[in-house]
Structures are given as C-alpha cells and as structure tokens.
Structure 1
C-alpha cells in the first residue's frame, strides 16, 4: 500500500491513541516514535510506514508536558453548565423509533433466534451511543442549515447500526467471558448458552450491515466497517498484557478506544459525512465521539471499584476478576510497584484481587482516574463548541457531562 494513501486513511485512528497522550503522565506515555511502533502495528500500520510517516506521525503528538499528571491540560476549557436538564429530550422520540426499527430488522423465520437477537433491545437502557450520534447529527445539520428531513432519516440508520453492532459485541463479550449477568438481568449467554449466543451476535452484525448497505455510501460503510475491525482488535488487546510499565498505559488507551470509543467516534463521523461536511467538520464530529467514548469507558472503569453491583448491572470488581488492569490499577502501580507482578499474572492467584483492591483504595489511583475522565469530558465539549450555537450543540455538551456525572 502506498504510504501516503495509508497515512490519510489511518490518521484518525492514530489521533485516537496519540491525541489522548496529553492526558497522561510523561512516564506513562512515551513520545518516542519507537515506543509508539507497537501501537501502529496494532492498528494495521504497514512496517514501511513507521519510518516513512515519521514526520507526519510526530505532527500528531501533543506538546510535552513539563509537570507530572495533574490535570493541567492547556487545550481544555472549564466545564460549563449548558442549562440542559435532560439532553435526551432532543432525541427521545428518535430513540423509541430506533428500537422499533431494530426489532423489524431482527425478524427471522427462526423464532428462538429472533427472541435471542432482540433480547437486549428492550428499550430500557440509556442508548447512549445512538443518542450521541443523533445529537451530533442534529447539531451538524443545524450548523449547516440543513432542513431536509431525508438527511436525518439516513443519519438515523447510522445510529441504528451503531447500537446493533454495540449490542452484538456485548453478546460476544458474554460468550468470551462466560458472563451470567448483563445489565442487571441474566445474560443471553446464561439463558441460551454459548453456541447460540455467538451465532445470534453474528446475526445482529449481519442485520446492521444490511442497514448500512441501504445508505449506498462507501465512505460511511468504511467508517462502520472500521468499528467492527476495531472491536475485534480490541478484544485481542484485552487478552494481552504489556511487560513494560510505560507501555501499559499505551496498551490501555488503545484497547479502550477500540473496544468502546471507536463506535462513538466513527458513528459521529458517519453522520457528518451524510450531512456533506468537509474534512474539518468530519474530524470535529469524530473527535467529539472519540473523547466522549473515552470518558464513558474511563468512568466505567472507575465505577467498577466504587459502585454497587446493582447500579452497574454487573458484579463489582469485574475487571480485576477477569484479569484486566484498568486506569485505577495502573495509576496505583506507580505508588505500589508490587502491583506489577499481579498485573503480569492477571490477578490469577488467590488473594490477588483483594490485594489489588487495597492498593487502589490506598493510592491516589481513583482520584487520578476521575480527573482523567474529567479532562476527556472537557475535550468532548471543546469539540462540540466548534459548531454554531444551538439547542442540539448544547445537547452534545450536556451528554458529555451526563457521561461524567455517573461518578456522582
């Protein structure tokens, strides 16, 4: 592949990893190109491009921070009160229609397959991913003066496909993790078993692909196809652990983007493409989705330590029990080096989970993780403010704040 062509196609993915570096301690996120080589390989960078794109990649790197991580991020603005009590008011009707339309797409001649595929689409969740895509679509349409309802109808299909792909990934996650609970109720895996759940997840993805094909837009299809590729790569990343302490945050960020933020980033970009946005506005939409997606997962990783399982819809300390070292643990390991041994063996020995929990609670890992989430929220809001003022732009900012406020 020609390096210049490759670089343009992968630029947004690199920004998703490297652009977040300014939110971390220098000791956790190396600015050296060689240190970033493994990240490039993980997202499909041809080996020849690491050298030939050296200057271009360096241009994506943030300015080196002179102080250790403490939240002093020069590009962010203070969080603002957007005076939107409930941002869902702008997309509530759309989300109801979305659930109905998803049910139609998941009809099959096999009654059991239909029931399984629809199981998580009960309309009871927050549907944060389609809400983000729809709010972004409406804000961009307002920004561009688009009043054609046909454009919004196409954008709704993106939101619909995004929710379907996300839900399929949950079904597959539960198969891989042998999870018995999801969203406070028995998982599909727990009811129907692993083989049928795995096949149902594939069926949901095929239905989402059919929805995207109806748009007849190659660029949009590329965006959503990238989501599926990222989800698979993210799952593989989650199965591994980096030996180098400095590489672990890189690994964590990359995994977090691919498993969570990619679907928000690429669905926001897709709705901007359908609106006819130029590359600048496409990047604004992508970055908004990227930062709000990272905020969401960082908060989720924090809540795993501090929230009741009834609120999370899954058992507490689930990540530790699965052998996963998230931000609170990685920050805590800076103060408690003995955690590094536990991280490498993925908390597999008796007492490891409890020891890790005690280290996290006795460190500043929770506070630093909370600050990290706040900084990503700020960045999401900053991206939204590049659009013209409107109730939907306010809704974009309020959604970012709502994601962060799950900490309260």
Structure 2
C-alpha cells in the first residue's frame, strides 16, 4: 500500500533527527517544555519564503470573514423536519464549540492560491454552473415526498472573487464530514467532552449521536452531488470509506509490535489526513486543474496539493497524539492525560518509548487493560525520548507538506504563504 511506503519514509526521516534531539533530551525537560524547546530548535522550525524571511501571514486571520460563516452556512445545509435530529446534527456547530475550521481553511486557501491558474478556469466560473450547486437535481416532490425535511434549494453561498461557489461549498462539505466523524468517534470512544462542552453522546445518548452523524453524511452527499464533478464525488466518497477503515484498524487487535508504527501511520492517514488531502485535490479540480478539466499540466498542481494535505494531516494528528500526554484537558477541550492509553491505543509517543523501555511492548499488546498499566505507560513515556521523537516525526511530515506546496507550480501569493505558515502552526499549536 502507498501508506506503507510513506510510513517507511517517515521512519527514515526520524532517524536523521536524532542528533538534534539528543541535545534537547539531555536537558531532562518535562514533556510540555520539551514540545516548546523542540519547536524552537528543530531545523524546520522556521518556515521561510523563497527569499529566506519568516512567513508572517496568519492563515486564520487572512480568511477570517469566510471562516466566520462556515458554521452558519453548514447549518443551512443540515435542516431537518425532526427537531431533535436537527439539534443533535448541529450540536458541534454552535459558537460554544470554538471550532478551528482547519479543513475548510485548507480548501479555501488552496482555492485562492490557484485562482485563475488553469487556462480553463473561466469556464468553471460562469454563472449557470455556479448556481447549480444550490438547486436540486431531482424533482422537488420526489425529494420532499411525505416528510419534507429540508429545502430542495439552498441559499447561494458567499464566495470571494477568488473562490468559486463550488469550492466554497466543498469547504462546507469538508466541515460536514469532519463533524459527522466527531459524532461517531465520540460514541466509539465513550468521550465525555468535546470542544469544551459535553460530547453529543453524553448530552443526547449514543443512538441519537450515531443517527445524527449518519444524517450529516447524507446531507454532505447531497451537496457533493450538486458540485457537478464525478471525479470529486469519487474522491470524497473514498474519504468516507477511509474514515470507516481507519476506525476499524483502531478497533482491531494489533499485529506484531515491529509493524505497529507503519500501521499507526496508515491509520493516521485514513482517519485524519485523507480528508485534508482529498478535499485539497478536489479544490484544484473544481478550479480547472487536471486532464479531465482540459488542462493536463494541472495534474502537477493536483498531485502537489494532495501531498500537502496528506503530510499536513499526518503531522497534525501526531501532534494531537503528543498533546494527549502534554496538554491538560481544559486546554484541549477534550479528555487528555493519557486518554488514548485508557482507550487501549498506542500512538507515536508510546511506540517510540517502547524501543527504549521494552516493558511497554507487553502493555501495548494487552492494550493497557490491567490495573496500573495506564499510569505505568505514562511514566515510561515521560521518561523516554518518545515525545521528542514524535515531534520530530511530525516536523518531518510538515517539511514534506511545505516542499509539496512550494514545488507544484502554485505561484507565490498571500494565500500560498498562508498554506506555508500552516505547516508551522500545526506543530506549534497547543490544542
């Protein structure tokens, strides 16, 4: 599998980082201090533009007006005639959740960065196709028969002059799929909280959370069909399949310990990076890049943004797994302090720590199920190089994401600088 190939590549990149880590680890810093120190001392810590200056663009501020409407516009796509379902489906879209909207941000930045790049771009921005995304494909009386639950037409979304309506809708679809995955994940994990509020299962029960997640995916599928690109439909459908496959990998009994790092990277791609990578590629396809869009040269752009999303997503998740050991729950807005260990999950910090403390291999094999296993594993990870090596692995993937976006033919711009800065921000984040 392709994921196995880049798992091996990641392992190779980590081995090159040991000399950098040695100095930091010798200082006996706490895990939280180590995270700060490594992001200051690692060779890729300062993301620079082609002129050698540090990128100062804050991508979240750059697109703040567009991001501020994501929750509102997504909620408009989720209407249901069933009040309870409507409430649960929109639960993680309330202002109280303080959502980061990372996935829509990636889509919007890439859309702006590639605005007008394709020679066929103008044919994708004419009024008629732009309006089609808000109209039903089937007769209204069929879609709304017996139980009308949502308008068959939607309010035209608000696009900037440099983002096509279909690309804006894609950003909303990315957030919908992410929200659906959170609803389902919180049931599987038995999570008590999410984004600093009680989780949907804790508030409404498992059955309603599962049904709401299914409903959100159905609404996302309807919006997806109206984009008018079978290639994009295929890509995003595979994302939903990947989410299920990744979750199943996490639930199943693990293989031999020597294979677990490769499996961890593969699972990380399926559960996190696939959505970022494939929506990134979909954004450039909708902007006219690629053979089927009449611009064969655009395949280089499509491949580049896909690699960007893939490696950014892997870096993001690795840091998320580090924060489970180093950040308090009050900061993360969800359970931490070994929450993954309590679920029986061995993430990068524990897998690396097991190389230094073989005692961990047995704990990992029984999924930390015996009394005292979680506390013992936390202690061993804290005394090992596991946190530092995990950060180094994330840095390696962030560097690959940066290289991909700089070498795929996207010209320098404020939007591209925002994408470059994002590769740093996923490493520096505290939640």
Q: By the TM > 0.5 criterion, same fold?
A: yes
The superposition leaves residues 243-285 of structure 1 with CA deviations (integer Å, 9 ceiling, x where unpaired) of 3222101110111110111100000010011112122211101
1:90 aligns with 2:62: yes
How far residue 69 of structure 1 moved from its aligned partner, in angstroms, is 5.0
**Among 84, 94, 106, which residue is 1:122 paired with?**
94
Greater Cα shift, 139-148 or 337-346: 139-148
RMSD of Structure 2 on Structure 1 (CA): 2.2
Counterparts of 1:361 and 1:142 in 2: how far apart (Å)?
50
2:255 aligns to what SS in structure 1?
coil
**Among 127, 131, 144, which residue is 2:105 paired with?**
131
1:250 aligns with 2:217: no
Tell me, yes or no, if the aligned pair for 2:112 and 2:163 is still in contact at 8 Å. no
Going from structure 1 to structure 2, the CA distance change for 1:72 and 1:112 (only over 3 Å counts) comes to: same
The superposition leaves residues 119-175 of structure 1 with CA deviations (integer Å, 9 ceiling, x where unpaired) of 101242111111011111111225448574596211111111111011101100111
1:367 aligns with 2:388: yes
What residue in structure 2 maps to residue 396 of structure 1?
Answer: 419
1:325 aligns to what SS in structure 2?
coil
1:80 aligns with 2:100: no
The superposition leaves residues 227-251 of structure 1 with CA deviations (integer Å, 9 ceiling, x where unpaired) of 1000000000001243322210111
Going from structure 1 to structure 2, the CA distance change for 1:396 and 1:68 (only over 3 Å counts) comes to: closer
1:383 aligns with 2:404: yes
1:319 aligns with 2:340: yes
Structure label with greater radius of gyration: 2
Counterparts of 1:281 and 1:142 in 2: how far apart (Å)?
13
What residue in structure 2 maps to residue 222 of structure 1?
Answer: 234
1:203 aligns with 2:245: no
What residue in structure 2 maps to residue 344 of structure 1?
Answer: 365
**Among 300, 308, 312, which residue is 1:288 paired with?**
308
How far residue 380 of structure 1 moved from its aligned partner, in angstroms, is 1.0
How far residue 70 of structure 1 moved from its aligned partner, in angstroms, is 2.5
Greater Cα shift, 89-98 or 359-368: 89-98
Tell me, yes or no, if the aligned pair for 2:45 and 2:424 is still in contact at 8 Å. no
**Among 91, 95, 99, which residue is 2:71 paired with?**
99
1:141 aligns to what SS in structure 2?
coil
Counterparts of 1:322 and 1:403 in 2: how far apart (Å)?
24
What residue in structure 2 maps to residue 42 of structure 1?
Answer: none
Counterparts of 1:255 and 1:362 in 2: how far apart (Å)?
26
Going from structure 1 to structure 2, the CA distance change for 1:311 and 1:151 (only over 3 Å counts) comes to: closer
How far residue 377 of structure 1 moved from its aligned partner, in angstroms, is 1.0
Counterparts of 2:325 and 2:261 in 1: how far apart (Å)?
19
Tell me, yes or no, if the aligned pair for 2:111 and 2:162 is still in contact at 8 Å. no
Counterparts of 1:192 and 1:172 in 2: how far apart (Å)?
13
Counterparts of 2:109 and 2:81 in 1: how far apart (Å)?
35
Going from structure 1 to structure 2, the CA distance change for 1:71 and 1:95 (only over 3 Å counts) comes to: farther
The total of aligned residue pairs comes to 353
Going from structure 1 to structure 2, the CA distance change for 1:237 and 1:159 (only over 3 Å counts) comes to: same
The superposition leaves residues 169-208 of structure 1 with CA deviations (integer Å, 9 ceiling, x where unpaired) of 1100111122111111101101110111110000000011
What residue in structure 2 maps to residue 155 of structure 1?
Answer: 167
TM-score (structure 2 length as normaliser): 0.78
The superposition leaves residues 11-37 of structure 1 with CA deviations (integer Å, 9 ceiling, x where unpaired) of xxx444422422215xxxxxxxxxxxx
Tell me, yes or no, if the aligned pair for 1:181 and 1:187 is still in contact at 8 Å. yes
Higher relative contact order (CA 8 A, sep 6+): 2
1:373 aligns to what SS in structure 2?
helix
Tell me, yes or no, if the aligned pair for 1:265 and 1:287 is still in contact at 8 Å. yes
What residue in structure 2 maps to residue 30 of structure 1?
Answer: none
Tell me, yes or no, if the aligned pair for 1:179 and 1:187 is still in contact at 8 Å. yes
How far residue 375 of structure 1 moved from its aligned partner, in angstroms, is 1.1
1:141 aligns with 2:115: yes
Tell me, yes or no, if the aligned pair for 2:235 and 2:278 is still in contact at 8 Å. yes
The superposition leaves residues 341-377 of structure 1 with CA deviations (integer Å, 9 ceiling, x where unpaired) of 1111100111000111111111101110111111111
Q: What 5-or-longer segments of structure 2 have no aligned partner?
A: 21-42, 49-53, 126-160, 290-297
1:234 aligns with 2:234: no
